[in-house]
A = this chain, B = another copy of it.
Amino acid sequence: MTTPDRPKVAMLLYPGLTLLDLIAPHAAFAPTTEVHLVWKTTVPVTSDSGVVVHPTTTFADCPADLDVLFVPGGQDQAPVAADEEVREFLADRGARARYVTSVCGGSLILGAAGLLRGYRATTHWSGIDVLALFDAEYAEGRVVVDRNRITGGGVTAGLDFALVVLAQLLGEDTAKMTQLMLEYAPAPPFDAGTPETAGPELTAMARAGSEAVNRAMTTVAKELAGKGWGGDA
C-alpha cells in the first residue's frame, strides 16, 4: 500500500532477528509513516525468541526510493550478512535512501553491505569490536548520527533511535506526540542497562552469551574483505 504524503520506511525482516529491535521503532513509525516489512519472500519468518511475523513485501516489490532503510539485529545476523542477495538489496536501496539506519547488531549487517565505510556508528555494547572490521568508526552514544547514517545501540535503544529519526523526517512535534502516545517516560527499576552499571560479573556472563554471534560475524567480515563488500571497498 502506498500513501503518497507519508515518508516511506522499509524495515528488513529475516529469520532469527530480534523482534524488539524491529517492533519498538515500528510502533513509533507506524502512525505517521508508510512502513514496509521486507524479506526475500512473504513467507512468515521466525524471530530469535520464537515469535513468527509476516513480511509485507519482498526485495523485488519494495519501493525503490526510500526515506528510511532500517536493519534490526538478531541472533542470526551473521548468516544474513553473509547472504549476497541481502547485501545487494541493502546496497541498492541504501545508495538512494534519505536515511540508512539500524538498531543493535543491524549496523553490522549494514557494514557487511558496505554501507558504513568511513561512518561513525554504534551497535549493541557486546558487538563494538566487530564494527571496526567493516571500516566503521565506533562512536559513543545511545543514537549516533553521522550525515545520513543513524544507528542505535542495543535493542531498547530503538525507542530513542526512532524519535531521533521521526524528528528528522517530520519534525520535533511529531516525535514528541509519538513519545506521548507511547508514554515513553522510562523508569527502570534497576540500573543495569550498560556494562558500567551492571558490573563485571553480569557483564562477563552476558558477553559469554553473545560470543557465538560475534564470532560468526567476525568470520563473515573476514570472508567479505577483498571482495568489494564489508570493510573493503
Contact = CB atoms under 8 A, between A and B. Distances in A.
Interface of A: 18-20, 23-24, 26-27, 30-31, 35, 37, 44, 49-54, 56, 104, 124-125, 142-143, 153-157, 159-160, 163-164, 167, 172-173, 175-177, 179-190, 192-195, 197-198, 202-203, 205-206, 209-210
Contacts of A31: 49
Copies in the complex: 2
B202 A173 contact: yes
A29 to B, nearest CB: 9
Nearest to A178: B192
Contact of A183 (B125, B181, B183): B125
B179 A159 contact: no
B192 A206 contact: no
Contact of A159 (B176, B186, B210): B186
A44 B54 CA distance: 9
A12 to B, nearest CB: 14
Nearest to A1: B50
Given A23-B51, A44-B54, 10 more contacts: A19-B27, A20-B182, A35-B49, A44-B44, A52-B53, A143-B187, A160-B188, A163-B190, A167-B190, A185-B188
B184 A156 contact: yes
